[in-house]
Amino acid sequence: MLKRFTVKNYKNFKDEISLDFSKIAGYQFNKDCLSMGLIGKMLIYGRNATGKTNFGRALLDIKTLLYGMFRNDENSVLINADSQEDTAKFIYEFQFGSDEVIYTYSRFANTELCDEELYINGEVVFKCDFKNSKFYFQGLSIINAETVNTNRYLNKGEMDNEYVLPFLRWFINNTAFSDNSVLIKLSKYVRKMDLITVSNNNQIHLSMFSYRKFFEDLKNPVYLHNFEDFLNLMGIECKLVLQELPDGQVELYFSQNKLVPFYSTASSGMLALTSLYQKIVSNLSLIYLDDFAAFYHYEMAEKLISFIKNKYPECQFIMTSHNTNLMTNKIMRPDCLFILSSKGTLTALCDATERELREGHNLEKMYISGEFEKYE
Supply angle C-alpha 206, 76, 173, rounded to 5.
75
What sign does the CA torsion over 367, 372, 374, 376 have?
Answer: negative
Say which DSSP state 13 is in.
Answer: B
d(CA 122, CA 285): 24
Average pLDDT over all residues of the chain? 91
Q: From the centroid of its chain, how far is CA 73? A: 22
pLDDT band at 157 (very low <50, low <70, confident <90, very high): very low
* pLDDT: which is higher, 189 or 244: 189
Question: How confident is the model over 280-328, as pLDDT tens digits?
Answer: 888 899 999 999 888 888 999 999 999 999 999 999 999 999 999 999 9
Question: How confident is the model over 338-362, as pLDDT tens digits?
Answer: 999 999 999 999 999 999 999 999 9
Share of the chain above pLDDT 90, in %: 74
Q: Has residue 235 got a pLDDT over 80?
A: yes
Question: CB-hemisphere CA count at 13 Å for 192?
Answer: 19
Q: Is 256 exposed, middle or buried (0-12, 13-18, 19+ CB in 10 A)?
A: exposed
Q: Pick one of 3.40.50, 1.10.1740, 3.40.390, 1.10.10 as the CATH number of 196-375.
A: 3.40.50
pLDDT at 201: 46
Element (H, E) at 338: strand 337-340
Least confident of 64-73, 114-123, 124-133, 276-285: 64-73
What is the pLDDT averaged over residues 95-111?
94
Question: How confident is the model over 41-59, as pLDDT tens digits?
Answer: 999 999 999 999 999 999 9
Q: Which residues contact 174 (CB under 8 A, 6 or more apart)?
A: 148, 152, 153
Question: How confident is the model over 2-12, as pLDDT tens digits?
Answer: 999 999 999 99
pLDDT at 202: 44
pTM score, two decimals?
Answer: 0.92
Q: Express the helix, strand and coil content of the chain in percent, nearest 5 each.
A: 30, 25, 40
Measured CA distances, 129 to 39, 58, 135 (Å): 33, 21, 6
pLDDT band at 69 (very low <50, low <70, confident <90, very high): low
pLDDT at 200: 42
Please tell me which of 182-196, 200-214, 263-277 the model is most confident about, judged by mean pLDDT: 182-196
Q: Has residue 73 got a pLDDT over 70?
A: no
pLDDT at 268: 82
Q: Where are the domains of the chain?
A: 2-24+50-194, 196-375
pLDDT band at 271 (very low <50, low <70, confident <90, very high): confident
Length of the chain: 376
d(CA 75, CA 40): 31
What is the pLDDT averaged over residues 129-142?
95
